[in-house]
Structure 1
């Protein structure tokens, strides 16, 4: 009887090694890519504007399959791209600036956070590259404090729709606040 047990032991060990190898591969695939620094000269994937000269939170999308990095001059433009029918169901990695950790005038890329976990203030008086923008924060309390000072409405990532982007700013006013 003992010889029968030991006969299958090598096969069981090989199967265990095979399974552990599979789980290691799954972990590598599931690893989230790190944000990429926004450089001077980078242009917005949606509007083509330079990104760094403008105030307010920026956005970044890393495509799931190709790992292509798309950078955006504002959270507004990032959401405009992400919410398009061809992109909305994809599992891209998304980053935005945590505005409680950086200056509005010139956001620091060290403050990039997962956009799906951020809390947003929509419709505040603060302007970004495209006029009205979505102020992004890592905590509800920071978003609430910003909202109390600058107005707007607090929303979670999943609650943001194209209507939030389209109703906050008349099309003709896109750059009027930036020129004043």
Structure 2
């Protein structure tokens, strides 16, 4: 039977402790991920100041890395107009939009918020949002494609949307 030298024993123990500490830190960081919050009747758009619930179409929300507050938007167009600004782009932690395959266009329901970075977007459809033309958002590509067949537009992923595209 082999025995470990005291130096090897301490090294192995130290590696185990560091491994556990790192995995606990990763778990803490993952726990910090926030969820979308309900849009209340009197909530105003962070960008334009309009009452969010007065308008149809998908809405958006974002949390910044340095703040516990949520920014709410009356349309996905306003959301993107805000998060794509150079001074905001690096500060955004989470971004949420409605999955329009699961909620009515006229009054999107808050339980159908999805991670915007994973969503599919349709730009240029005939459907209107708070600021006129808006970005229809979907969790599944197939749902976005069905929407395009009915209402027109072009399909985009989150990272493909720029100020120029808007």
Relative to the length of structure 1, the TM-score reads 0.82
In the alignment, what sits opposite 1:46?
47
1:11-63 CA deviation, whole Å, 9 max, x = no partner? Answer: 64354224302321122114421111111111110001111121100000011
Please state whether the residue corresponding to 2:86 is helix, strand or coil: coil
In the alignment, what sits opposite 2:28?
28
**RMSD between aligned residues:** 2.0
Of the structure 1 ranges 53-62 and 13-22, higher mean CA displacement relative to structure 2 is found in 13-22
For residues 91-110 of structure 1, what are the structure 2 equivalents within 5 Å? 91-110=92-111
Q: Give the superposition deviation at 1:102.
A: 0.4
The reply on whether 1:66 has 2:67 as its aligned counterpart is yes
The reply on whether 1:146 has 2:147 as its aligned counterpart is yes
1:55-108 CA deviation, whole Å, 9 max, x = no partner? Answer: 100000011232321000000000000110112234521000000010001101
Aligned length: 164
Please state whether the residue corresponding to 2:155 is helix, strand or coil: strand
Cα 1:10–1:163 shift into 2, 3 Å: closer
Looking at structure 2, the residues matched to 124 and 146 of structure 1 have their Cα atoms a distance apart, in angstroms, of 9
Relative to the length of structure 2, the TM-score reads 0.89
Kept in 1, the 8 Å contact 2:63–2:92? The answer is no
For residues 128-143 of structure 1, what are the structure 2 equivalents within 5 Å? 128-143=129-144
Looking at structure 2, the residues matched to 3 and 163 of structure 1 have their Cα atoms a distance apart, in angstroms, of 66
The reply on whether 1:84 has 2:85 as its aligned counterpart is yes
Structure 1: stretches of 5+ with no match in the other structure: 166-180
Kept in 1, the 8 Å contact 2:96–2:114? The answer is yes
Please state whether the residue corresponding to 2:127 is helix, strand or coil: strand
Looking at structure 2, the residues matched to 73 and 35 of structure 1 have their Cα atoms a distance apart, in angstroms, of 14
In the alignment, what sits opposite 2:57?
56
Of the structure 1 ranges 105-114 and 6-15, higher mean CA displacement relative to structure 2 is found in 6-15
